[in-house]
Amino acid sequence: MIEVQPPKRVALYARYSTDMQSPLSIRDQLRMCRDYAARQGWVVVDEFFDEAMSGTRKDRPGLQSLLEAVKARACDIVLVENIDRLSRNQEELHGFYNRTKHAEAEIYTTSRGRMDSLTLGLSSLIAATYLEDLAQRTKRGLEGKHADGLNAGGKAYGYRVRRTPEGVIEKGQLEIIETEALVVRRIFREYAAGKSPIKIAAGLNKDGIPAPKPRKNAKVSHWRQTTINGNPDRGNGILNNELYIGRSVWDRLRYSKDPETGKRVSRINPRAQWRVAEVPHLRIIDDELWQAVKDRQTRQRARYGKADTGSRNDLSVNRDFRRRRLLLSGLFKCGRCGGNMTVAGSGKYKAYYCANAKEKGSAICEGMPGLKIAKATPTVLAALRDLVMTDEAYETFRKRFQMHTAALGATKQEEQVLLDKQIAELEGKRENLVRAVEDSYHPTLVERLTEVEQALAEKLAAVAALETEAPPLPEDLSRLYREMIDNLTQTLQDEGIVGRAADELREMIDRIVVSWDQAAKAHRMDLRGKLLEMLTKAKPAELAGLEESASSLELVAGVGFEPTTFRL
């Protein structure tokens, strides 16, 4: 009696790589596999597939399900159109082959039939070589596009792919989106003026300005400080994109896939390897504003220290841009041990203490009585006030005030354009909602209509505020200036300008060395740094001829907080 063997059970697998490929590819691959199985007399017991997933990924859900079926011995044969549908990675492909062999199953392709270790090795080698060659040819093509001034990378905020009047896409050609360019200029101006990235992002979100690149399937995106800060070394983030000054930088990064995790990892290429092309038609920011931002970034990084961009315990370089809460914090040093002074206490008792003495004990530093902030800040600012109360300093201020007023007018025009666009969008939404409510009343529609009308009213009010004429230069500007300087302590601690004020002070003061005068029962403060540069700018008559002197200013924080000694 002849024993009839049951037909072999076959599991099919299909895959296509990217969103640009047709999903019909899955259908066609499975159809070819079914036809092949039918000709062999096999029975198809299951079908698996992965859509828009690279063959280099091992976390494909369809592939993982196929592996589970193989391990469970639910099939005798794994059938694919081509071996590279399973994987393009030689190591992973051989791993899959070993698992099927252990489960006493076989791998077949519709193009080559049964795969043994030799044919599998040759096929996987060809697939791997193809990938490497494709990567090289792709990079060569992109390098050529970049050299010709075309876009060889992704789309940056503020730009879109250019189209002909007939609507045909011009590949590699970008053009400026004027409304987004206004937002870019606003971010640069606010940062250069001393505003923190967190506050810039909060302001953009409050004004309802859409953020770039919303998450996939997300209807709304929001601005974050990381969107603005980015990473200066890698050139990402709004403040670091050189395309805004008409300079296209390519090949800044190289990529490789971690064999352990399968994740794509980027590394910075040597600067000499970067490709730079001038594209002046894409300029959004002028050189002066760009340099002002770069200068402030450099000061921030030098002042707060640069975090390790690869650290898992930090937030990359965005922690470099932390805000100081006090105007003079970080400047005070102990005159005994040279260590930093830290703030302790609360309210009127808040004071600076030697950190070494407080945290390490008298064996390291004996310390001194606390220097109250309520005494230290007015004393330092009183000395600085006297240095900027000169006619020369006022004249510099007047000229800058005029420049600021002129720039304010240009800024208002840009804000007007942006508001007009937002108003047009809101009016369109309101019209659609009114029509929807008329057709089918629903409380949710009415609620949404109320929200849109409120937002529209706010934008119209903002436009009305912009239309008011800029105030003329006050006739008594000199008096106003002197009143502001005379009240320097209050002015520089105002929340609106304390950030920029702190930056400016640290440009002139490197450190303030504090010592205790036991006889006078008072603290002495020795201001050191670029005071000579500050005094040269102000040029007070009584301090003329200091160019060859040392640069420091000695003060006493005692009764009346009066500066006692100019030691320059």
Q: What is the tens place of the pLDDT at every residue in 17-33? A: 764 456 668 889 999 99
Domain 159-321 has CATH 2.60.40.10: no
DSSP 8-state symbol, 559: G
Beta-carbon contacts of residue 396 (< 8 Å; ≥ 6 apart): 537
Residue 173 identity (one-letter amino acid):
Q
Q: Residues 26, 231: contact at Cβ < 8 Å?
A: no
Query: Domain locations in the chain?
Result: 9-142, 159-321, 332-389+484-561, 409-477
Q: How far apart are CA 118 and CA 94, in angstroms?
A: 11
Lowest mean pLDDT, pick from 3-7, 174-178, 487-491: 487-491
Q: What is the tens place of the pLDDT at every residue in 233-260? A: 787 889 999 899 988 887 777 777 666 6
Q: In the structure, what pLDDT confidence band is assigned to residue 214 with cuts at 50, 70 and 90?
A: low
Q: What is the tens place of the pLDDT at every residue in 391-411? A: 666 666 667 666 666 666 666
Please, what sign has the CA dihedral across residues 489, 494, 500, 502?
Answer: positive
Strand partners of residue 526: 513, 554
Q: Residues 378, 489: contact at Cβ < 8 Å?
A: yes
Q: What is the tens place of the pLDDT at every residue in 138-165? A: 666 666 666 666 766 667 888 888 888 8
Phi, psi at 200, each rounded to 5°? -60, -45
- 9-142 has which fold? Rossmann fold (3.40.50)
Residue 487 reports pLDDT greater than 70: no
pTM comes to 0.51
- Helix H or strand E encompassing 130: helix 117-147
Lowest mean pLDDT, pick from 68-82, 87-101, 321-335: 321-335
Helix 531-538 vs helix 498-508: crossing angle, to nearest 10 = 110
Helix 391-439 vs helix 443-467: crossing angle, to nearest 10 = 150
pLDDT of residue 538: 46
